[in-house]
């Protein structure tokens, strides 16, 4: 595939490789013949021959995708090779190869079979990511750090809370993926016009049987020009990449030299600067996300499939789906590698939290003071204290202010400036989230 190695995985290369594509097409034809024989549409002897051929190596089948350039799609040369092979074994079975089906039935179903394998692989990897994030959430539930809004220091949180929210997003993505796996990854079987007329009155039963054999959903109808399920699946893949990009993006910002809160276990090198420790895994999902968004937009724009078989719109999926799935698999794989070995610099997190010398307590200080004086007066008082300290040492400015001392005890002031309440709340929320992160 024309994708750089870091944006691919061995699994993705195999799934979209020629041999696995041919294997899926053969599996469809085998399932179709078997299902048709059960209801008496074709002789059992013919089905036996077809399934035997489909389960073995097809001669010259490796040239199918080259021959598809002339044929218009890979199903046609594949079926020619299959028919020749069946004829050599049992000439009487030849007429029943691909009986009552179309190229689109074969190609769409084969694509859906690929998507189920990809969905299962993604779920397994996401499960591992969730498990690691659950561990980080629990381990660092009370590890203090600063939260950042609009890239500026906001209020204290814990690293466990940040990891817990990442884990929550992974859990939600897994749930959406499972729903798409069950409901939208469906067999396509409609025959020439969607009515399965050649299989009447057994068409629905055959379709259900084929779906069961292939591990696909039975949609209960022909969806050859109703492509919403393809868009739904693709949208879920985009969600998965979006979640991984969020995690990787946060980590990239935390990896900056000036921040230094986390680091990949095996950072990359620079070709020119020996001192550099570059992120490697985190780059992939961040780079992949806009590409995935573009491919999703392409699929959304090609939803209009004219009449009973679309010229162009259908074919767009053949290009888009493999690339989209490869980018998704790579994004999850890289985040899994990054999270599993992520180095957490707790002292640096504490140092960054202490940079503004208590300024981050301003919000809580206003709220606490407002219990004894008007809120506007409390806000103005804290605003004046901030101006007086000019970020040099807000804590000392607060402690030395007589008005604050009149309203609050030394113990309460110490709690506020030590971020006790804020950090306790963050730790509690992290512990709660840890219990909801689904790693099974």
Query: Hey, which residues are catalytic here?
Result: 270, 309
Three-class secondary structure of residue 14 per DSSP: helix
Q: CA torsion, points 314, 320, 325, 327, in degrees to nearest 10?
A: -170
Q: Distance between CA 34 and CA 104 in Å, rounded? A: 19
Q: Classify 196 in phi/psi space as left (phi over 0), alpha (psi -120 to 50) or beta.
A: left
Task: Give the N- to C-terminal CA distance of the chain in Å, as an integer.
Answer: 33
Q: What is the DSSP letter of 95?
A: G
Q: 160-184 in b/e burial notation, b at 16+ Cβ within 10 A?
A: bbbbbbbbbbbbebbebbeebbeeb
Beta-bridge partner residues of 148: 153
Describe the crossing of helices 18-38 and 103-139 by its angle, rounded to 10 degrees: 120
CA-based torsion, 238, 243, 248, 249: positive or negative = positive
What count of residues does the chain have? Answer: 440
Q: Distance between CA 75 and CA 22 in Å, rounded? A: 9
């Amino acid at each position: 595939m024309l994708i750089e190695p870091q944006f691919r995985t061995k699994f993705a290369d195999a799934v979209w490789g020629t041999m696995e594509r041919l294997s899926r097409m053969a599996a469809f034809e085998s399932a179709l013949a078997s299902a048709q024989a059960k209801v008496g549409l074709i002789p059992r002897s013919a089905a036996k021959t077809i399934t035997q051929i489909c389960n073995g190596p097809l001669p010259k089948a490796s040239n199918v995708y080259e021959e598809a350039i002339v044929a218009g799609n890979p199903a046609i040369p594949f079926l020619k090779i299959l028919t020749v092979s069946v004829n050599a074994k049992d000439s009487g079975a030849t007429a029943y190869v691909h009986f009552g089906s179309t190229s689109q039935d074969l190609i769409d179903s084969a694509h859906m079979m690929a998507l189920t394998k990809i969905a299962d692989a993604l779920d397994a990897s996401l499960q591992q990511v969730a498990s690691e994030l659950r561990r980080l959430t629990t381990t660092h539930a009370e590890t203090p750090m600063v939260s950042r809004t609009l890239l500026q220091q906001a209020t204290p949180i814990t690293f466990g809370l940040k990891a817990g929210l990442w884990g929550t997003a992974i859990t939600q993505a897994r749930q959406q993926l499972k729903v798409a796996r069950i409901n939208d990854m469906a067999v396509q079987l409609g025959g020439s016009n969607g009515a399965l007329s050649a299989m009447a009155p057994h068409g629905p039963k055959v379709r259900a049987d084929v779906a069961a054999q292939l591990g696909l959903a039975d949609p209960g109808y022909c969806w050859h020009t109703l492509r919403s399920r393809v868009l739904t699946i693709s949208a879920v893949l985009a969600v998965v990449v979006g979640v991984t990009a969020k995690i990787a993006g946060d980590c990239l910002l935390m990896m900056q030299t000036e921040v230094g809160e986390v680091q990949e276990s095996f950072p990359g090198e620079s070709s020119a600067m020996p001192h550099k420790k570059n992120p490697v895994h985190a780059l992939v999902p961040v780079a992949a996300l806009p590409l995935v968004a573009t491919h999703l937009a392409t699929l959304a724009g090609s939803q209009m499939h004219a009449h009973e078989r679309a010229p162009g719109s259908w074919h767009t999926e053949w290009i888009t789906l493999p690339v989209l799935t490869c980018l998704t698999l790579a994004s999850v794989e890289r985040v899994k590698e990054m999270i599993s070995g992520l180095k957490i610099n707790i002292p640096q997190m504490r140092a960054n939290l202490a940079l503004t010398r208590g300024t981050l307590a301003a919000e809580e200080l206003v709220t606490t003071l407002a219990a004894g004086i008007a809120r506007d007066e409390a806000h103005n008082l804290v605003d004046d204290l901030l101006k007086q300290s000019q970020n040099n040492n807000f804590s000392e400015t607060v402690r030395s202010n007589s008005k604050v001392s009149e309203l609050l005890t030394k113990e309460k002031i110490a709690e506020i400036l030590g971020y006790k309440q804020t950090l306790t709340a963050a730790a509690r929320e992290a512990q709660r989230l840890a219990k909801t992160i689904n790693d099974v």
